[in-house]
Structure 1
Amino acid sequence: MAENNLSFEQELQMLEGIVARLEQGDVPLEEAMEQFQKGVALSKKLQETLQNAEKTLAQVINDEGQEIAFEEPQE
């Protein structure tokens, strides 16, 4: 699994490395399966991080210090 103290960017770089290695096709089957599973776990973790960031960015603080949902202006 991914190490706990890695940044989003470091984990994304790890995932990209796994994908690149697997795309080369010269990885033994057992190692390929292990790397694939590690990649799937990293992908899920990165997706979760992005979703949490999106939720955070979708909130704004009004003048009274209350969180309100961010809404796109209506056209």
Structure 2
Amino acid sequence: MSDQAPAPAVDKMSYEAAMAGLEDVVNRLERGDVPLEESIALYERGEALRARCEALLQEAEMKVAQITAGPDGEVAAAPMKG
């Protein structure tokens, strides 16, 4: 991460981008050739990426839970509560 372009803001990433970033972090940490300070920064970024993925999955689950079948059998989205 030291000589690379700045990493994109985690809170703006799509699920796919966050997951790819998380996989990159894990791969770099598993290689074991990253200096300590950079390892700490990578770990912190990985934790932020994991949290972003989890939040996006929870949001998707809530949306899916709102999908219901009407009396005629057609699928419809129920209004979101909250």
TM norm structure 2:
0.69
Alignment of structure 1 residues 42-53 onto 2, 5 Å: 42-53=49-60
Q: 1:53 to 1:3 in 2, by over 3 A?
A: closer
Instruction: Report the alpha carbon displacement of residue 3 of structure 1 after superposing the two structures with TM.
Output: 6.2
CA displacement 1:24-61 (0-9 Å, x = unmatched): 11100000000000000110011010011011001125
| Long gaps (5+) in structure 2 | 1-8, 71-75
Q: 1:61 to 1:28 in 2, by over 3 A?
A: same
Instruction: Report the alpha carbon displacement of residue 12 of structure 1 after superposing the two structures with TM.
Output: 0.7
Instruction: Report the alpha carbon displacement of residue 66 of structure 1 after superposing the two structures with TM.
Output: 7.0
Aligned-residue CA RMSD in angstroms?
A: 2.3
Structure 1 window deviating more from structure 2 (27-36 vs 54-63): it is 54-63
In structure 1, what is the equivalent of residue 36 of structure 2?
A: 29
In structure 2, what is the equivalent of residue 71 of structure 1?
A: none
In structure 2, what is the equivalent of residue 13 of structure 1?
A: 20
What is the DSSP-based 3-state SS (H/G/I as helix, E as strand, rest coil) of the residue aligned with 1:22?
helix
Write the letter of the residue equivalent to 1:67: A
Write the letter of the residue equivalent to 1:24: R
In structure 2, what is the equivalent of residue 39 of structure 1?
A: 46
- Quick one: percent identity of the two aligned structures? 36
- Aligned counterpart for 2:10 among listed residues 2, 5, 9: 2
